[in-house]
Amino acid sequence: MTAIDFTCCDLLDANEALQAQGRLAVLPPLFKSYGALTRFAGPAHTLKVFEDNALVRAALEQAGAGRVLVVDGGGSLRTALVGGKLGQLAQDNGWAGLLVFGCIRDAEEINACRIGVRALNTMPQKSSKQGFGSVGAVVDIAGVKIAPGDWIYADADGVLAAAQALHA
């Protein structure tokens, strides 16, 4: 897959009307950057889970096809939803990146993977693996609604969610 050339600042400047219409949103600056790629973009595949990463693994076992896995973990800081093995799985299966409204672990392993990851923080405590949650729902990531297929753009300046592709 060819890398998408963009900056979040330029996309915002060029799409003020979409932002005014509520079709383009800037996520709050809560997310830390992990993974070898500091810039990534792709259509969203959404999950809603809470301190349980079985659905995260199931999603990452599928072909990513350049998508961004958006995980609404409820903002929990008590357990990690993604670790090094899942980071490697995301890389191997062609995911563009991960946006985790929660924590990751094995940060050094994830940083070695050729993917981009945004998460609230790191936490060594692993999550449960019971499979509770939902796939393909509209999720709320720090106050921003993201639907399956919305475009996620992330770079050193932040994260955007758009109802359509913004890049040329």
pLDDT at 1 over 70: no
Predicted local distance difference test score (pLDDT) of residue 4: 85
Mean pLDDT of 8-18: 97
Q: Which distant-in-sequence residues (6+ apart) come within 8 Å of 83 by Cβ? A: 104, 105, 106, 109, 110, 126
Dist CA 153 CA 3 (whole Å): 12
Please say whether the beta carbons of 55 and 133 come within 8 A.
yes
β-strand partners of 121? 103
The rounded mean pLDDT for the chain is 96
In this predicted model, what pLDDT tens digit does every residue of 30-82 receive, in sequence order?
A: 999 999 999 999 999 999 999 999 999 999 999 999 999 999 999 999 999 99
Q: Which domains does the chain show, CATH number per domain?
A: 8-15+30-162 (3.50.30.40)
Mean pLDDT of 135-144: 97
